[in-house]
């Protein structure tokens, strides 16, 4: 591999070689540099490049790439420490844990802020104040402000200047179509709701669904335990299903998907989904007809 300019070197202290505290703007710059394809993860060759430059950035000038054997060990060490969902990729939240990020900005990405999917739509509706189907700059600003107000440490230093900086940085990271606002799929990447891994496993296996798998999946969404999915519980199921097949969608497209979901599974048309109806939905959901439902 040829020598090349090391992107991370400028973020190290010239004397100590330690990484300086990364500001919100610098974090955005680093993220966009290594997430070259803009898919919301640093993975594959992007991850190798990041880790290689992280190692070599301590040198004053460009040096040869880290040997593959050492790079593999470093990759395994980093992923073991920070890749909480074991997907072999680095998300925005995980990068914020790796880098010495501005502590206030890091709070936005802390894992304890992760949401259950069942709560996600409540937050979306709360902050999409004008019901436009998008979280616009002022609405995103309000979201960040409220998040900081919920911090146990009430002495967090969130000046108006920092609030503006954080809001603009969040937009530059997650607003992939650069329209100055976050659509539903973009906001999901910011809030990073917990995924239903059992659901993913079942849909990717193309095999008969076992009773214990169905019970596990249903229990994730049946929050009140009444053996019927309704309202926000159906929103959570629809969100997890659409995330598997479509990474870029608006609130309107989500509602269309949810309507198609009910048309497919709500056999008695009561606006709810029973465990038997969920079984019907999951057995019907191959990769092919998932895309047809989304269309």
What are the structural domains of the chain?
Answer: 9-101 (1.10.238.10), 113-191 (1.10.238.10), 197-294 (1.10.238.10)
Q: How far is CA 215 from the centre of its chain?
A: 26
User: Given pLDDT bands bounded at 50, 70 and 90, which one contains residue 2?
Assistant: very low
pLDDT for the residue numbered 289: 47
Whole-number Å distance between alpha carbons of 80 and 94: 11
Tell me if residue 222 falls in helix, strand or coil.
coil
Say if residues 167 and 140 touch (Cβ distance below 8 Å): yes
pLDDT for the residue numbered 290: 47
Whole-number Å distance between alpha carbons of 27 and 8: 11
pLDDT for the residue numbered 3: 53
Summarised one tens digit per residue, pLDDT across range 150-195 is 665 554 668 899 899 999 998 988 888 888 899 888 887 777 655 6
Strand partners, 12: 19
> How many CA atoms lie less than 13 Å away from 140 in the CB half-sphere?
28
User: Is the per-residue pLDDT at 260 higher than 80?
Assistant: yes
Cβ burial, residue 256 (10 Å; 0-12/13-18/19+):
middle
Largest Cα separation within the chain, whole Å, is 71
C-alpha to C-alpha distances, 82 to 34, 94, 110, 197, nearest whole angstrom: 17, 6, 12, 18
Give the mean model confidence (pLDDT) for residues 20-45: 91
Whole-number Å distance between alpha carbons of 277 and 248: 27
Whole-number Å distance between alpha carbons of 91 and 88: 10
pTM of structure: 0.65
Least-confidence region, from 40-54, 113-127, 157-171: 113-127
In terms of residues, how long is the chain? Answer: 295
Tell me if residue 118 falls in helix, strand or coil.
helix
Nearest partner of 93 among 103, 82, 102, 77, judged by Cα: 82
Whole-number Å distance between alpha carbons of 171 and 178: 8
């Amino acid at each position: 591999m040829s020598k090349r300019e090391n992107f991370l070197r400028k973020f190290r202290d010239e004397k100590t070689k330690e990484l300086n505290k990364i500001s919100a703007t610098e974090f955005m710059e680093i993220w966009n540099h290594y997430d070259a394809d803009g898919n919301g993860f640093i993975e594959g060759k992007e991850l190798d490049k990041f880790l290689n430059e992280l190692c070599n950035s301590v040198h004053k000038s460009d040096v040869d790439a880290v040997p593959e054997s050492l790079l593999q060990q470093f990759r395994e060490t980093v992923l073991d420490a920070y890749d909480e969902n074991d997907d072999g990729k680095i998300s925005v939240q995980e990068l914020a844990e790796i880098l010495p990020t501005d502590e206030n900005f890091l709070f936005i990405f802390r894992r304890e802020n992760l949401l259950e999917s069942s709560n996600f739509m409540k937050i979306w509706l709360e902050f999409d104040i004008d019901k436009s189907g998008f979280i616009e700059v002022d609405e995103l600003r309000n979201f960040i402000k409220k998040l900081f107000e919920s911090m146990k440490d009430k002495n967090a230093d969130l000046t108006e200047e920092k609030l503006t900086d954080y809001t603009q940085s969040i937009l530059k990271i997650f607003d992939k179509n650069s329209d100055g606002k976050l659509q539903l799929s973009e906001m999901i990447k910011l809030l990073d709701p917990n995924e239903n891994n059992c659901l993913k496993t079942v849909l990717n296996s193309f095999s008969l669904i076992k009773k214990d798998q169905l019970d596990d999946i249903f229990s994730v969404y049946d929050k009140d335990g009444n053996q019927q999915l309704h309202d926000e519980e159906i929103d959570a199921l629809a969100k997890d299903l659409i995330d598997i097949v479509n990474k870029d969608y608006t609130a309107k497209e989500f509602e269309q998907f949810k309507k198609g979901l009910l048309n497919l599974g709500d056999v008695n048309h009561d606006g709810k989904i029973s465990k038997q109806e969920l079984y019907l939905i999951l057995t019907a959901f191959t990769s092919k007809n998932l895309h047809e439902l989304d269309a």
